[in-house]
Amino acid sequence: MMHRMFELSTSRSFDRAPGEGFRTTLELPGWENQSAWGYDEPIGSYFAQLYRNTTPDGERPDIWLSGAGSNYARPGSIALEVLRSTGHDPLTIVSAMGILDPTPRLRGTAEINEQITELTPEAEDRYTAGQIEALRWVLTGACPGPGSEREWLSGPPGAQHVEAEYHLVVGGPYERGGDQMSLSGADEALMWALERM
């Protein structure tokens, strides 16, 4: 079994064009020796093959996320399934996939507070509610992450953590039947908080 003696960039696949076929390593701790992920052009889906480091060479993957059974339309769709399957945190997963923005930036607290104040949801407006909930998470970390749905226990998240949750949010509507309007609102809010709009 070959062990890697170098650290790959956490942003090595950040700028890959959607639909471009590739296969690259998935550097997830405890799974990094043989694991890979990529995009399968003939199937039109992302995929991942995860092998525990204890799995002998030549064996089948311990976790096989194939686009043949489910369409993984975005890298975040794979990240979300890896989260569910391995229990690793979002930032570790997104970094292991190499899809982390190399220079994520967050808007300031005052600007985010102002945006929350301006957003007033109607009674049934799940989109705006998703925006507000995501922005409150960015400010305080006091509620579960909008993509991972995990409790956040260490104060406000940093820019890299927000970036990781963003990937899970955009992968979410494709992989879970939940509240797609709320996830769409969270998608827009996190893009805005990360200064992408």
Residue 152: predicted pLDDT: 79
Residue 8: predicted pLDDT: 55
Q: Tokens 């399968």 map to which residue?
A: 40
Residue 143: predicted pLDDT: 86
Sign of the four-CA dihedral 108, 12, 92, 171: positive
37 forms bridges with which residues in the sheet?
A: 24, 48
pLDDT band at 123 (very low <50, low <70, confident <90, very high): low
Residue 32: predicted pLDDT: 92
* Each residue's pLDDT tens digit, 2-41: 444 334 567 667 667 778 899 999 999 999 999 999 999 9
Task: Say if CB 128 and CB 116 are below 8 A apart.
Answer: no
DSSP label at 55?
S
**Residue range 83-93: mean pLDDT, rounded:** 94
Sign of the four-CA dihedral 141, 100, 33, 83: positive
Query: What is the overall mean pLDDT for the chain?
Result: 87
Task: Say if CB 167 and CB 76 are below 8 A apart.
Answer: yes
- Give the span between the Cα atoms of 162 and 164, in whole angstroms: 5
Whether residue 117 is predicted with pLDDT greater than 70 in this model: the reply is yes
65 forms bridges with which residues in the sheet?
A: 48
**Which positions ≥6 away from 41 have C-beta within 8 Å?**
19, 20, 21
Helix axes 109-118, 126-140, angle to 10 degrees: 160
- Give the span between the Cα atoms of 172 and 81, in whole angstroms: 10
| H-assigned helices in 2-89 | 75-86
Q: How many residues does the chain have?
A: 197
Q: What do you get for the CA distance between the two ends of the chain, in Å?
A: 45
* Each residue's pLDDT tens digit, 67-81: 887 889 899 999 999
